[in-house]
Amino acid sequence: METAHFVIVGGGTAGWLTAFITQDSARRAGLDLKISVVESSKIPTVGVGEASTAALRVFFQYFGIDEFEFFRETGATFKLGIRHHNWRRKGYTYYGPIDDPHQVVAPPPGASSDYLNIYCVAAGRKVQDMHLFGPLLERRKAPYARKADGSLIPLGPFHHAFHFDQALLGQFLKRKAKGVEIVDAVVAGVERDPESGDIAALVTDDGARLAADFFIDATGFRKRIIVQELNAPWVSYQKELPVNRALPFWLDIADGEEINNYTHAWAQEAGWIWQIPTQTRYGCGYVYSDEFRTPDEAKREVEQLLGREIEVRSDIRFQIGRLETPWMHNCLAVGLSSSFLEPLESTSIHGTIVQMMLFGARFLKHPARMTAADRADYNARVGRQVDDFRTFVNMHYMTERDDTPFWREVKAHRLHPETKERLAFWRREMPKREHFVDFLDGLPHIETQLYYPVLDGLGILDPAVAKAEMARAPSVRAFARKTVDSLVREYRQAATRAMGHAEFLAYVRDNR
């Protein structure tokens, strides 16, 4: 079949990730593909979004990208998890480390997939303590140590995540995606085939016409093609995800100051503040509900908390939810044009990576051979993925807090039926991996490894249920106790050998 021409509209993180993944997937599939990215120097990228999940590291490894080069070129730092402060109640902190200890210990016969987690809950021990990243988070260390010869050695087999400068990540990916045509233009409309409804060409604001076989809408919140032209229907999560507005600002990192290796998620009176380090500054923002705060009140609240003035970088409102059909005709939407929840748990860039890897591996072919069944299948999988993100994020708001109108409202009215259903189920039976169906071909997704630290941290899991499950298999319980003891010991020791975070970053900068 002849060359297929794909046009990606949007040169933000989503557009460039898509260009990169699609180009590589086509090469692997033997598809002859020309890719163009249309981006507009007149329309800025969203300018926030600086924390990833481990999916970005999976992406780097899969595509052979050197992560040390990435550290150097995007001001990146480690993200080993999230520090949740003041969520369960004021003054209470828990960590959500992103590594999974079950990965390194073969389960004994008869053990369930999550027997170590279940043991910890039964024994009243903190789940986070048996993670390698637990003590590294508490001590703000890197997951690397120095060998006697000065070189680096990773402390475990686990994938970490990153914080980075969002603008530099886009540029980095742009440089890596070689052979992509770049067009600087504003897309102002489309021409459609009157019979099929497919898009025949994009029309730019200066009247130029850009014909192609397939179109990817990565235009951010504008949803320029998928909604403005194709009227894709929207599934709103507005009710159950209570924050809808953000006030971003930066804080400096002083010379010699240790740098957090976590995203700090700091609950406030009407939402929460994120603090995300790059190598030179903290990108921060108060993400709040504008039912409970005006932007001026939000700014005042932050300034009172920090005891200093802040320079607000913008006022971002967002629509919370997802498209019902991100793939319609010969157009597929990705990134902010497809869905957005809120920044908690950094689901957005993760979603883009996984969606495009799924599309590249399972659905990518010449557009002439793509079918309605392909579209329905992709839309169902992506819809389920984003609904799972919603339920996970929604669960973070199941807290003991009732000290402000915002927290009282959240508790009383903002839990999605699926959140309630899962919680009710997990009060009768401990969460297990088999409660999650794999619909993403094994690509990374939110499962028990992320749920446990959060549910445990919020005090939601019932130790009596965990104890009853452990009592059914005394030999598994004995094995779990021994394993957890030795993991805690081993990982505490590893943390004493680990490099400091800032020390690691200096090493990477100095050793090209």
Sorted by sequence, the CB contacts under 8 Å of residue 480 that are 6+ apart come out as 111, 115, 116, 118, 119, 470
Q: How far is the CB of 310 from ligand FAD (least distance, A)?
A: 15
d(CA 414, CA 397): 9
Of the pair 117, 339, the CB lying nearest ligand FAD is at: 339
Q: Which is nearer to ligand FAD, 166 or 399 (CB)?
A: 166
- Minimum Å distance from CB 215 to ligand FAD? 12
**Closest distance between ligand FAD and the C-beta of residue 187, in Å?**
4
Q: Does 79 qualify as catalytic in the annotation?
A: yes
Q: Which is nearer to ligand FAD, 282 or 479 (CB)?
A: 282
Q: Tell me the residue ranges of DSSP E strands in 33-76.
A: 33-39
Q: Residue 43 or 305: which CB sits closer to ligand FAD?
A: 43
Burial class (CB in 10 A: 0-12, 13-18, 19+), 157: exposed
Q: 34, 42, 79, 174: which is the annotated catalytic residue? A: 79
Q: Which alpha helices (DSSP H) does 369-432 contain, by range?
A: 372-395, 405-413, 417-428
Distance of CA 63 to the CA centre of its chain: 19
Sign of CA dihedral 25, 160, 344, 503: negative
Q: Write down the least CB distance from residue 427 to ligand FAD, Å.
A: 31
Q: How far is CA 496 from CA 111, 141, 436, 485, in A?
A: 32, 9, 36, 17
Cα 366 from chain centroid?
30
54/122 with CB nearer ligand FAD: 54
Q: How far is the CB of 345 from ligand FAD (least distance, A)?
A: 9
Residues in contact with ligand FAD by CB under 6 A are 9-15, 38-40, 43, 45-46, 48-52, 166, 186-187, 218-220, 222, 224, 246, 285, 287, 316, 318, 335-337, 343, 346, 348-350
What span, in angstroms and rounded, lies between the C-alpha atoms of 414 and 405?
A: 13
Query: Which helix (H) or strand (E) element contains residue 323?
Result: strand 321-323
- CA 511, CA 151: separation in Å to the nearest integer? 10
How near is the Cβ of 206 to ligand FAD at its closest, in Å?
12
Nearer to ligand FAD, 117 or 275 (CB): 275
In the chain, the amino acid numbered 397 is Y
- In degrees, rounded to 5, the angle at the alpha carbon of residue 303 between the alpha carbons of residues 75 and 341 is 60
- Tell me how crowded residue 296 is: count the other CB atoms within 10 A of its CB: 10
Report the catalytic residues. Answer: 79
